[in-house]
Structure 1
Amino acid sequence: MHRLNVKLVNGVQNFAKGSLGKAYHQNKWTTVAFSTQGVRLSQAKSDSAASKPDRLSKKPPESKGYAANMFRGQIVPEQCFPYPDVLSPDQQETLQMLVSPTEKFFAEVNDPAKNDALEKVPDDIMENLKEMGAFGLQVPTELSGVGLNNTQYARLVEVVGANDLGIGITLGAHQSIGFKGILIAGNPEQKKKYLPDVATGKKIAAFCLTEPGSGSDAASIKTRAVLSSDGKHYILNGNKIWISNGGFAEIMTVFAQTPVKDPKSGTTKDKVTAFIVERSFGGVSNSKPEKKMGIKASNTAEVYYEDVKIPVENVLGGVGEGFKVAMNILNNGRFGMGAALSGTMRSAIAKASDFAASRLQFGRKIETFGAIQEKIARMAIKHYVCESIAYMVAGNMDRGFSDYQVEAAISKVYASDAAWWVVDEAIQVMGGMGFMKETGLERVLRDLRIFRIFEGTNDILKLFIALTGIQYVGAHLKQLQAAFKNPGGNLGVVFSEASKRVLKSVGLGGGKSKALDSLVHSSLSTQAGHAAEAVELIGQAVESVLMKHGRGIIEEQFILNRLGDAVIDAYAMAVVLSRASRSIEKKLASVDHEVLMTKVFCNEAIERVRFNVNGMKAPSSIENYKIMSQISQTICKNGGVAHANPLGI
């Protein structure tokens, strides 16, 4: 299970190796900073803004991301409205030429049940996939790949996800992350040397990060690479666990600690570096395939490195830059999971609805019962949201935007949670038949369980979503704090930021309920108002928790989880409103159906946002979090359930 988790809480991306910003805490402005060593708090320096004019002349970085700006209570529509339409006629034609044979292959040639039973992808199927170009979908054509953009790739991944998640992991571990580092961070020589072989499937790739003692806390990896005395090689020692394709991958992106000397201070400390490792270097071995709950057709193994000599030219992205490389790889590939799982959901919904339309109980088809209708409707709504987000992120990537890490994380979390729920409900609709192997849903449910864990557990990613947004807010609060030291000379900053906060604190400065009216079709104006309200509620909540907790916010995971949930819902509202509005404009055949799903989702999502925002500050909620913490500690100390059986025996 490639790259199960990545370190996010104590410093993913080193949280930009900088400060969260200035937060007003206990009557003092303080700096909250995230680093790989944790969190630190320091009082603001006494120097005045007037003595350091550059502080205010350098504006904090401005994000065009819709999600990032929600944390400031602002709507920046550029990356959400209108819904992206990025394929040229030629690209659409190319995609159609690829989709049809791919669907035919999975319908007529591949047997997912057989692959699951064999616990491997058969050699003939692997060869067929290679001939189809499935191992190099996004590699440029001049380097033997298919040359697809992200949106085209998403559509083909959706076909795979609808049919066989075991094969999906084999392909994804290879190209979505296995050699993705070479594609996005490799130098020209590395690309020319390695991409043709991996694109054709001549050599399979793997992503090697997770270790026995390092899952979510990726910075704690123990695998080490030390420069040889002649300076020509790094000597690699260590081991990685749960590596997809680990039993047969010939090319690996491996992350290891390396000693790095700071040119300024002269001190040396360990930093993570990414390496391109070939099995042919020698010293690389692996365990037998792991026995797993699901995705059994995917090879998962432990990989060992013993005195592996890696040429210095195989450093990927620079010495000590491995964390950045890993995060870029994962951020760049997460949208693919949303696309794949939207395919999984589409397939499950088809099976459940076909069954409901033919199954008779109490003299009626079960599709006529309200209980079944609600299940099928909610399944379809979740699929619509998941699919909409996946193609929104892919489209924005193709439009050249680079600030999409929060949206990509949202896509992964929503897709993996929704797919699990949808397939579980599909089984419920089909009753005993759904439980049988014959329908294939029990295999799909087993396969799905891992998606909420790898590429960053959903729990960790929700914290990542919340803390990344808070960091962005902090940068603006930092500038505001400096401006207040010399308000006369910085009226622009004071009035642009502070006045918004003052007005909100006294119940003024609203009007956001109409903020999306010009972007959303008039038939969805009520729901547009809900989406705008969600953004304002999130902005107010973020400011409130920063003022209350300061640096301590990183430890308030009960609160951060609810902020993450609220942001996911708020972003999803905007995305489906954007997609449905485009469907209305284009007069698509499914437009009425899409509008109905959008209305239900937004009407319910705003209630969840209100609930979660309230849960970040309500005294009763805060008290419950303290109680739950105590309950959990008691259970863990007891080694299990701490209350006695009611019979006392």
Structure 2
Amino acid sequence: MELELRGGGFLLTEVSPDQVYVREELNEDHKQLKRMAHNFMTKEVAPKIEEMEEQKDGVVREFMRQAGELGLLGLEVPEQFGGLDMDKASTVVVGEEVPRGGSFAVSYAAHTGIGSLPIVYFGTPEQKAKYLPGLADGSKIAAYCLTEPGSGSDALGAKTTAVLNAEGTHYRLNGTKQFITNAGFADIFLVYAKVDGKMTNFIVEREMPGLSFGPEEQKMGIKGSSTRQVILEDVMVPVENVVGELGRGHVVAFNILNVGRFKLAAAAMGAVHTVIETSLKYASERKQFGTALNAFGAIQSKVAEMATRTYMAESVVYRTAGLMQAGFHGLDLTGDCRKEAGKALEEYAVECSLNKVYASEVLDYVVDEGVQIHGGYGFIKEYPIERMYRDSRINRLFEGTNEINRLLVPGTLLKRAMTGELPLLQAAAAVSKDLISAGMGGQAEGLEALNQMTQKAKKLCLMAAGLAAQNVGMALQENQYVLTGMAEMVLQVYAMESGVLRAQKVQTMDVSEEHKAFVEKAATLGAYTAFNILEQQAKEVLCAVEKGDALNTVLAGMRKLVRRPNVDMIGLRQEISKYIIEKEGYPVNY
């Protein structure tokens, strides 16, 4: 596998535009699928959001059935088992539309992602034949049961047990699972329990004796989704319902969470589109001092920043979709592919965590600004932005908190460096050596200047990571202050490069000149914003791991890397906001 295509490999090599997948490459099949999902969500689901919020019995389940009829539940299920077997970009375009139905998106994501995919990727052919057709057509709904009252991020600290009976035919499961989405109406539960202290995944059916449920949780947001405890008291589960390998349920759990994080990012991105549309509509109709809100510079600046962060987030998500699609190329999901699937999912653990963190935080920023644009009305239930604000908050907790995901990034990269999978430390040493004698180099313009900035950003990230590993040693894995700083640098590099490469690629594509201009401006504003954050984080990390004269030498080298051409960021915001306001929303191709 080429270095760039290795998970985390983007840090160590210069990536070309033709190596990344971008939104503008969506084909007509993708667009048709997106239009179908859009129509279903806006015409069927969205009008019933209030009924779902009140948890009117049967509403969500009926919409899940309809989604199954349309094929929206089986996008990643092989055709042999009733699915459509579509690519990762297809899951993104649908994932973007589902949030238009409010918290229905949560039920949908829990079912199609972490609920069904353990069987798709790790199930036996017999399990796939038995369960996937129903999961694909909506006659069966899935739930994922990992979290417990005493173990959230510490999933391996779970207490639920599974004991084999004397006959060797069934496992007896006992324990309680907490915060389980779809628990109120799911038919199939992917339950994680310990066999002789080792995590194992089981398929548990609702009708099995001993399975019961707590009351619905009264949540801050996503009120239309079902969230309950799942209680197992001597539930007898057949041995053939073990998913993956006995005692290796953590492989299933963590790898499924990887793809779940990627899918969550797509949904967050879709929610952002809706928030921007809603906010722009209000800003065009609401007048203050005799002038529409969208005519004020302070509001326009917010719109520009909202649109730019959205551009960067979708650049990250579509790039990752391309990587994951390439990683799954040639994988036969109809048979026993658990080892190959596990490797493919694990490969991009870093990128999936980056997707989840970046997109969920972009959504939280955008919806917060959406409320601000609405002013006092944004705090009133009558206006949809109030619900959007509450619903967005869960995304930084779902699929592992953003803090846990940030820590996973440097932890995974350093682990791969130690095992020789990624020459991370060698690259960091080379950067430090080069900085001693390196000159300024020529100053490019336009997108090429952004590309040069990206390469400098990578070097800065590598320099900080290398010095941290060298000076702190094994204690680094316990220093979460430094690790989170390193994670933020990697996050900004990935977003920055994704946005720049997309803009470079778009310039060669058959798209409108106004769209080419928009992506170049958004990439420029996004890249400079990312570099500013990166510079601050790098300085904090370096000051934490170096002292005295050595620190002064390192900071002198850093100053060479952070030099960059000046740009009129205010002017960019003015031009971006003008374009977005004219379009009455973020530009999305249907």
Q: Could you tell me the TM-score, scaled by structure 2's length? A: 0.83
Structure 1, residues 292-331: CA drift from partner, whole Å, max 9, x if none? 1111111111001111112212111101111111111111
Closer/same/farther in 2, CA of residues 513 and 319 from structure 1, 3 Å limit:
farther
Equivalent residue in structure 2 for 1:427, among 371, 375, 382: 371
Residue 157 of structure 2 corresponds to 220
Residue 82 of structure 1 corresponds to 19
Equivalent residue in structure 1 for 2:353, among 409, 414, 424: 409
Residue 541 of structure 1 corresponds to 464
For 1:152 and 1:538, the matched residues in 2 are separated by 33
Residue 540 (structure 2) pairs with residue 615 (structure 1): yes
Q: How does 1:102-121 map to 2 (within 5 A)?
A: 102-110=37-45, 111-118=48-55
Q: Which amino acid in the other structure matches residue 304 of structure 2?
A: A
Equivalent residue in structure 2 for 1:458, among 394, 402, 422: 402
- 2:282 match: secondary structure: helix
Residue 100 of structure 1 corresponds to 35
Residue 287 of structure 2 corresponds to 360
Q: CA deviation at 1:66?
A: 6.9
Equivalent residue in structure 1 for 2:503, among 580, 605, 608: 580
User: Percent identical across equivalent pairs?
Assistant: 34
Q: How does 1:631-646 map to 2 (within 5 A)?
A: none
Residue 105 (structure 2) pairs with residue 168 (structure 1): yes
Equivalent residue in structure 1 for 2:86, among 128, 139, 148: 148
For 1:109 and 1:513, the matched residues in 2 are separated by 58
Residue 270 of structure 2 corresponds to 343
- 1:293 match: secondary structure: coil
- 1:194 match: secondary structure: helix
Given that 2:24 and 2:506 are in contact with CA atoms closer than 8 Å, whether structure 1 keeps it comes out as no
Aligned residues: 526
Q: Which amino acid in the other structure matches residue 40 of structure 2?
A: F
Closer/same/farther in 2, CA of residues 134 and 500 from structure 1, 3 Å limit:
closer
Residue 238 (structure 2) pairs with residue 311 (structure 1): yes
- 1:222 match: secondary structure: coil
Q: How does 1:81-480 map to 2 (within 5 A)?
A: 81-84=18-21, 92-110=27-45, 111-118=48-55, 122=59, 123-161=61-99, 163-259=100-196, 270-400=197-327, 402=344, 403-476=347-420
For 1:101 and 1:547, the matched residues in 2 are separated by 53
Which structure would you say has the larger RCO, counting Cα contacts within 8 Å and 6 or more residues apart?
1
Closer/same/farther in 2, CA of residues 465 and 124 from structure 1, 3 Å limit:
same
Residue 520 of structure 2 corresponds to 595
Q: Which amino acid in the other structure matches residue 595 of structure 1?
A: E
Give the superposed CA RMSD.
2.9
Given that 2:467 and 2:545 are in contact with CA atoms closer than 8 Å, whether structure 1 keeps it comes out as no
Q: Which amino acid in the other structure matches residue 350 of structure 2?
A: V
Q: Which amino acid in the other structure matches residue 330 of structure 1?
A: L
Q: CA deviation at 1:426?
A: 1.0
- 1:84 match: secondary structure: coil
- Which structure: larger Rg? 1
Residue 429 of structure 2 corresponds to 501
Given that 1:512 and 1:532 are in contact with CA atoms closer than 8 Å, whether structure 2 keeps it comes out as no
Residue 579 of structure 2 corresponds to none
- 2:190 match: secondary structure: strand
For 2:181 and 2:421, the matched residues in 1 are separated by 43
For 2:87 and 2:456, the matched residues in 1 are separated by 35
Given that 2:144 and 2:189 are in contact with CA atoms closer than 8 Å, whether structure 1 keeps it comes out as yes
Q: CA deviation at 1:169?
A: 0.9
- 2:128 match: secondary structure: helix
- 1:247 match: secondary structure: coil
- 1:118 match: secondary structure: coil
Q: How does 1:66-81 map to 2 (within 5 A)?
A: 68-69=8-9, 74-77=12-15, 81=18
Q: CA deviation at 1:438?
A: 2.9
Residue 483 of structure 2 corresponds to 560
Given that 1:119 and 1:298 are in contact with CA atoms closer than 8 Å, whether structure 2 keeps it comes out as no
Residue 552 of structure 2 corresponds to none
Structure 1, residues 212-251: CA drift from partner, whole Å, max 9, x if none? 1111111111001111112222111111010001122221
Deviates more, 1:501-510 or 1:371-380: 501-510
Q: CA deviation at 1:147?
A: 2.4
Deviates more, 1:248-257 or 1:351-360: 351-360
- 2:221 match: secondary structure: coil
Q: CA deviation at 1:562?
A: 1.1
Q: Which amino acid in the other structure matches residue 467 of structure 1?
A: G
Q: CA deviation at 1:85?
A: 6.1
Q: Which amino acid in the other structure matches residue 224 of structure 1?
A: T
Question: What stretches of structure 1 of length at least 5 have no aligned partner?
Answer: 1-60, 260-269, 481-496, 623-649
Given that 1:120 and 1:296 are in contact with CA atoms closer than 8 Å, whether structure 2 keeps it comes out as no
- Greater fraction of residues in helix: 2
Residue 569 of structure 1 corresponds to 492
Residue 26 of structure 1 corresponds to none
For 2:129 and 2:224, the matched residues in 1 are separated by 31
For 2:423 and 2:525, the matched residues in 1 are separated by 40
For 2:90 and 2:536, the matched residues in 1 are separated by 38
